[in-house]
Amino acid sequence: MKNSIARRRFPLALALLPTLVAGALLSGCSKVPDTIKIGVAQPLSGPLGALGQDLLNGVNLAVKELNRDGFMVDGKRVQLEVVSVDDKADAATGKQVAQQLVDAGVVAVIGHLNSGVSIEAAPIYAAKDIAQIAISTNPKFTQLGLNSTFRMVANDTLQARAIGSFAATQLSASRYAALDDGTPYGKGLTDGAAAQLKAENKEVVVRKSFDDKTVEFDALAGELKAARVEVIVSTLNDFQALALLKALQKVGHTQVKLLGGDTVKTTDMAKGAGLIEGLYATSPVLEAKEFTTGKPFLEKYIDAFQKPPAYGGHYSYDSTYVLTAAMQKAKSADPKDIIKAMRTINGYAPVIGTMSWDDKGEQRYGAVGVYELRGGAWELRMRSDRW
């Protein structure tokens, strides 16, 4: 009797049970997890800490917006989580933290700043098919033959031509020095710039390499004065360039111009204003204010972090949006699927407009700007994607 009453009382529930079980099983088999982890590997301490923190800020800002707006993959709402590590701008540390990110289960990594670190870490990400989106500019990064390497900006081949061409045609000199910081980024870029100067029939009378921590330049300043150098082409870091300018002041050789790479195009470099005849910098990292949609980004960034971007926060911000668009295109959070989608995507980038990569992972729409330090701020002199 009791069994009969139960069957009469709950016929609908019994009928729906197979459907409910099947739905639960299908939900449990979803390839999209509830939380998707994005790795960020940058120098968060030391002399380059402000630049690395800026890149991390860009990712954090984008992730906050995406989570707020209900980010979905394949019809499922998911939570994005940022896992950040400090690579200390050191290749050995970079390899260690890269493995930490892999072990943490990230599906992609936005890192690293330094070319030497990106190059060393790349095989670790590639072994697990984890996309690596780097702001590093050394061409070797995308020449490793790995499917997982993607660059945010133009590479040093274009930047070297920009440095050499601008120095030769716009700075009106006959005697040049070429200095680098000994890193793959610095040495490769300076070699390329020196080659471009030679192609423009200009003479490089001093060619020197240092390590990326050297700040004692008294002997060099004397050598530059003795060689009557008029323009210094340099890929030293900003704190090194400032030390060099002070050494030049000591020996009274200030009628000289310095044209650096993007490691001198920083707010700290404003301390060097007026120490020599002119300060210039080239950079494939174009400023947010140069883009029509840069103003709203800058307002949001300053509101969130109480200061303007120090370097390329808008590029890491845009990279996060394009990366997550690739997840949506792939309908998956599987790293292999994400890489496949990124290889074919022409992604909307909220600040710079669009990001798209060729078969090597080079940015299709990269350009290089040349800036002059005026009134304590960097002002754009010219910009081109064809030097």
One domain for residues 148 and 174: no
Residue 21 counted as domain residue: no
The residue written with tokens 């926060």 in the block is: 313
Q: DSSP readout, 104-127?
A: HT-SEEEE-SSHHHHHHHHHHHHT
Domain membership of residue 347 as a residue range: 35-154+289-356
Backbone angles phi, psi at 251, to 5 degrees: -95, 5
Q: Is residue 214 domain-resident?
A: yes
| 357 DSSP 8-state letter | B
Tokens 């390497």, residue?
149
How do residues 9-25 score in pLDDT, each as one tens digit? 444 444 444 444 444 44
Helix (H, G, I), strand (E, B) or coil at 35: strand
Spatial distance between the Cα atoms of 63 and 321, rounded to a whole number of angstroms:
8
- Residue 30 has a pLDDT of 63
Q: Classify residue 2: in a domain, yes or no.
A: no
What is the C-alpha separation between 237 and 202, in angstroms, rounded?
24
Q: What does the block give as tokens for 60?
A: 């954090």
Q: Is residue 70 domain-shared with residue 172, that is, in the same domain?
A: no
**What is the separation of C-alpha 47 from the centre of its chain, rounded to a whole number of angstroms?**
17
Residue numbers in the chain where pLDDT is lower than 50:
1-28
Q: Are residues 190 and 258 in the same domain?
A: yes
If one counts every other C-beta atom within 10 angstroms of the C-beta of residue 364, the result is: 12
pLDDT at residue 333, rounded to an integer:
98
Q: Are 87 and 169 members of one domain?
A: no
Q: Do residues 191 and 130 share a domain?
A: no
Q: What is the separation, in whole angstroms, between the first and last Cα of the chain?
A: 91
Residues 112 and 190 in one domain: no
**Which DSSP helix (H) or strand (E) runs through 264?**
none
| pLDDT at res. 184 | 83
Answer yes or no: is 224 within a domain: yes
314 plus 333 within the same structural domain: yes
pLDDT at residue 28, rounded to an integer: 47
Query: Does residue 186 sit in the same domain as residue 252?
Result: yes
Q: Is residue 3 part of a domain?
A: no
Contact 324, 80 (CB under 8 A): yes
Q: Are residues 266 and 196 in the same domain?
A: yes
Max Cα distance, the chain (Å): 111
Query: For residue 14, is it within any domain?
Result: no
Residue range 184-235, pLDDT digits in tens: 889 999 999 999 999 999 999 999 999 999 999 999 999 999 999 999 999 9
Residue from 126, 138, 128 nearest 187 by CA: 138
How far lies 220's CA from each of 114, 178, 206, 244, 255, in Å? 25, 12, 10, 8, 16
Q: What is the CATH number of the domain that holds 41?
A: 3.40.50.2300
**Are both 374 and 235 inside the same structural domain?**
yes
The pLDDT value given to residue 286 = 93
Residue 28 belongs to a domain: no
Q: Do residues 47 and 71 share a domain?
A: yes
Counting the structural domains of the chain, the total is: 2
Output the pLDDT for position 378: 92
Q: Would residue 76 count as lying in a domain?
A: yes
Looking at the structure, do residues 58 and 142 belong to the same domain, yes or no? yes
Euclidean distance between CA atoms 44 and 85, whole angstroms: 8
What's the rounded Cα separation, in Å, for the pair 112 and 107? 16
